[in-house]
Amino acid sequence: MESVLGLPASDYPYTPADLFYLAFFPLVVLGLTRLPAAALSGHDRLKFWLDLLIVLTAAWMVVWYLVISPSATGGGDWLEQIILAAYPVGDLVAIGGIVALLLRRPDPAVRAALLWFLAGLAVFVAADLIYAYQQLAGTYASGGLVDIGWVAAYVLFALAALRQRAPASAAALPARVATWVDRLSLALPFLAIALGYGLLLAVAGGQWQGDMRLQVELLTGGLLTALVIGRQTVTLRENLRLNAELKRQYELLQIEQEKSERLLLNILPGPIADRLKHTADTIADSFPQVTVLFADLVGFTPLSEAYSPEQMVLVLNQLFSKFDALAEQHGLEKIKTIGDAYMAVAGLPTPNPRHAQSAADMALAMHAAVKRFADKTGLPLQVRIGLNTGPVVAGVIGQKKFIYDLWGDTVNTASRMESHSLAGRTQVTASTYAALGDGYECEPRGEVNIKGKGPMPTYFLVRRRDGNS
């Protein structure tokens, strides 16, 4: 510009234009730091500063060895030395601004335009440093690659400005580019480490002169090592903390999963619960031969008029808890309770060839358990039970509060056996009587008129014959 305006040549190697050039760098950094980026706190802030220092230290090693140190030994007054050093230092400042923004993960809304600007700034800094090196070596020639680099940087700056006109949004940046930016921000400290130590190895391969250039390089290498150790220490501490937190969360998750598992097993049979966890398909299975048990507490309804609801619930809980234990003991699957009625089945979901015998054993044990409870509490309670053997369909119904239930004529008939039975007795159908065989003593009741079925021969289960299993 001074040449174009025809200003008189200066005896000094520096001019007022240097002030404008040097002002460029702090203005760039100020602008970059004002852009929205991810907030930092705690360990993240400490890692950010360590990463930034690692990159700047490695960059300083290059700039010092190639630019600042040679220019400092070239002579000149103190102001000239300061201005000569100010340019590469300004480049370092610009590099710091770029790295700081990348490490802070810039807001996706500004990334599209920011990528163009950062690319231009990187080209500008590279051209600037190459220019300084060529000037010192006396090889710079106007119109070469350095000048092309500056022009390319200005073009990229212009493209960034043009890109800013479009509405900035997270969707404006392709996912692959966003991923590339995130990976670059993570890789910057490690690239800087490789650059710094690579330069040290290159210097060590030459002549050891013991000059200031080498001494500063070695000192800076030591600083880089300390920063890397500090960075890794912070990362290790954070990893240990995260591992401890992850272990704690995993243990809590295991506890919650065990609770959920127990709850699920309280609702569904074990094999059905396993299938439900691994498939979204409807669960419905046919079983050719099972024995269905219905039981009802006789005398419970009149008691509810004399006792509080809390007392009646306590009675039901004690008896039904005993029934649950008996079902587990004899291999039956509890299906549900309705009021003071209890329903269970033998022979599913795991087939059991002795399903009728298992159901009969449970029925006899239920009568004994209710009698002991009545004798202990003085409550006039008995249980009325019905058994029927035949085919059923079993499955899970519902999406919320689902239950495992049974369907089929066998179920309806078993319910009728219970409702037409007598207090303290277990009424069984002919199919159950035949399935029991000689191992159980039953007395014929005769034909009973069953709703929807007509007259049916039924039997009362009396006891299990001694010597049979």
Q: Are residues 102 and 21 in the same domain?
A: yes
Q: Are residues 335 and 430 in the same domain?
A: yes
Its pTM stands at 0.49
Amino acid 273 reads A
Q: Does an H or E element contain 29, and which?
A: helix 17-33
Range of the domain at 315: 281-464
Q: Are residues 300 and 443 in the same domain?
A: yes
CA distances from 235 to 40, 120, 242 (A): 15, 32, 10
CA distances from 4 to 9, 21, 142, 143, 464 (A): 12, 17, 16, 17, 121
In a domain, 113, yes or no: no
Q: How many CB atoms lie within 10 A of CB 394?
A: 24
In a domain, 385, yes or no: yes
CATH of the domain at 352: 3.30.70.1230
In a domain, 292, yes or no: yes
Report the candidate in 390, 338, 341, 333 with the shortest Cα–Cα distance to residue 362. 333
Q: Are residues 236 and 285 in the same domain?
A: no
Rounded CA-CA distance 51/185 in Å is 10
For the record, the structure tokens of 100 come out as 């700081």
In a domain, 331, yes or no: yes
Q: Are residues 229 and 334 in the same domain?
A: no
Please list, in sequence order, all residues whose beta carbon lies within 8 angstroms of the beta carbon of residue 40, skipping any fewer than 6 positions away: 48, 104
Rounded CA-CA distance 323/391 in Å is 24
In a domain, 211, yes or no: yes
In a domain, 206, yes or no: yes
Of 195, 224, 243, the last residue of a domain is: 243
For the record, the structure tokens of 293 come out as 């048990």
For the record, the structure tokens of 207 come out as 């002549």
Q: Are residues 336 and 216 in the same domain?
A: no
**Residue carrying the six token digits 């890692």:** 47
Q: Are residues 199 and 337 in the same domain?
A: no
Give me the number of domains the chain comprises: 2
**pLDDT tens series, the chain, 469 aa:** 444 444 455 555 556 666 677 777 777 767 766 666 666 677 777 777 777 777 777 777 777 776 667 666 655 566 666 666 676 777 777 777 777 766 666 666 666 677 777 788 788 778 877 877 777 677 777 777 888 887 888 788 777 767 654 444 444 445 555 555 555 555 666 666 666 666 665 655 554 455 666 667 667 766 776 777 677 667 767 766 777 788 888 888 888 877 777 766 666 666 666 666 666 666 778 899 999 999 999 988 888 778 888 888 899 999 999 999 999 999 999 988 888 899 999 998 888 999 999 999 999 999 999 999 999 988 889 999 999 999 999 888 766 667 778 899 999 999 999 999 999 999 999 999 999 988 999 999 989 988 888 899 999 999 998 744 3
Q: Are residues 190 and 302 in the same domain?
A: no
Q: Are residues 305 and 196 in the same domain?
A: no
In a domain, 124, yes or no: no
